[in-house]
Amino acid sequence: MQPSDRTEDGSTKDGSHVETTLAPPHREVAAQTHNAGRVYGKGNAQVRAIDGVTVSFAKGQFAAIMGPSGSGKSTLLHCMAGLDNLTSGSVSIGDTNVTALSEAKRTELRRDRVGFIFQSYNLVPSLTARENILLHCTFAKTKPDQAWFDEVVSTMGLADRLSHTPTELSGGQQQRVAAARALVHRPEIVFADEPTGALDSRSGRRLLTLLAHVAHDKNQTIVMVTHDPVAASFADRVIFLADGKVVQEITKPTVERILQIVQELDEKQENKNAEHLDEWGDPLAVTE
């Protein structure tokens, strides 16, 4: 984007807004990373999945993370939620420095304060949908709020599926159970990894509306990875990752603006790939 595309307050002509600071100073911080890095493997097989990510999420914010496959989205989410360990930098949830916690304390944090919608659902196969949804409450020995349980279950269209086990449910139904499980215990922050990936557009919209509702009306925080520009447009803010780094972010996203940025980032990546081919020679080129 050219600077001339922006108006004085940072808005672009299409109504989206370019962030100039990562931390919204006027609101309480729900989660943040400082120079977060995660390296997998050793030697030649080493992969820098996330590489110096500094980002913060305000309480009550619904944020989306986008980026090509392999750009580090799931790694960032897992490290923020205390499911994986950074190799450098730090993560905090509220005032808690997650990086410094013992394994036991991290388990407690995940149970009591975090909801996670896994890309691959991660439901317990031997438990019914109801038992899966109530898993956090069971572990924490707390009673769910029945009215909220009913609201989540009915919004997710699961009322007549509660006694089924995961193998008796379709992929979309399993994903809806996984979403309900992450929301029922009212965690202060919900991480969602492609939560609408298996959903038809109607169920997808219902979930996205529910996520926006818990953020805006219940002051919970939502951090959602998605590759779907329509899903991302439900968020207040979209962060774009490439090669493990934050490369751009916008607030008040529109589908058009998201598509435009995705295309720009794709072009940049293609140019980079072309440079590599120049350096190494095109292995697919036919030589006489």
Regarding 40 and contact with ligand ADP (CB under 6 A), the answer is yes
Q: Interface with ligand ADP by CB under 6 A: which range of 67-75, 104-112, 160-168, 255-263?
A: 67-75
Name the minimum Å distance from CB 70 to ligand ADP: 4
Residue span 154-173 as binding mask against Mg ion, x where in contact by CB under 5 A, dash where not: --------------------
Which of these segments, 13-21, 40-48, 98-106, 195-203, binds ligand ADP (CB under 6 A)?
40-48
Among residues 73, 106, 136, 185, the one that binds ligand ADP under rule CB under 6 A: 73
- For ligand ADP, which residue of 74, 128, 132, 155 counts as binding (CB under 6 A)? 74
Q: What angle do CA 44, 46, 47 make, to 5 degrees?
A: 135
Q: How far is the CB of 50 from Mg ion (least distance, A)?
A: 12
Q: Is 71 in the site for Mg ion (CB under 5 A)?
A: no
Question: Which residue, 77 or 114, is less far from Mg ion as judged by CB?
Answer: 77
Those residues with Cβ within 8 angstroms of residue 55's Cβ, 6 or more apart along the chain or in another chain: 22, 32, 33, 239, 246
For strand 17-18 and strand 114-117, is the pairing parallel, antiparallel, or unpaired?
A: unpaired
Residue 74 makes contact with Mg ion by CB under 5 A = yes
237 makes contact, choosing from Mg ion, ligand ADP, none, with CB < 5 to 8 Å by partner type, with none
Q: How far apart are CA 254 and CA 237, in angstroms?
A: 10
Q: Which is nearer to ligand ADP, 128 or 226 (CB)?
A: 226
Beta-carbon contacts of residue 143 (< 8 Å; ≥ 6 apart) = 137
As beta bridge partners, residue 115 has 190
| Both structure tokens of 210 | 């529910």
By CB atoms closer than 10 A (0-12, 13-18, 19+), residue 159 is: exposed
Amino acid at 227: H
Q: Under the criterion CB under 6 A, does residue 197 sit at the interface with ligand ADP?
A: no
Beta bridge partners of 249: 239
Strand 189-193 vs strand 114-117: parallel, antiparallel, or unpaired?
Answer: parallel
Which of 158/198 has CB closer to Mg ion? 198
Among residues 47, 124, 159, 274, the one that binds ligand ADP under rule CB under 6 A: 47
Q: Name the E strands within 149-236.
A: 189-193, 221-225
Helix, strand or coil, per DSSP, at residue 53? strand
Query: Considering beta carbons, is residue 67 or 229 the nearer one to ligand ADP?
Result: 67
Q: Could you list the residues that contact Mg ion (CB under 5 A)?
A: 74
Q: Which residues bind ligand ADP (CB under 6 A)?
A: 40-41, 47, 49, 67, 69-75
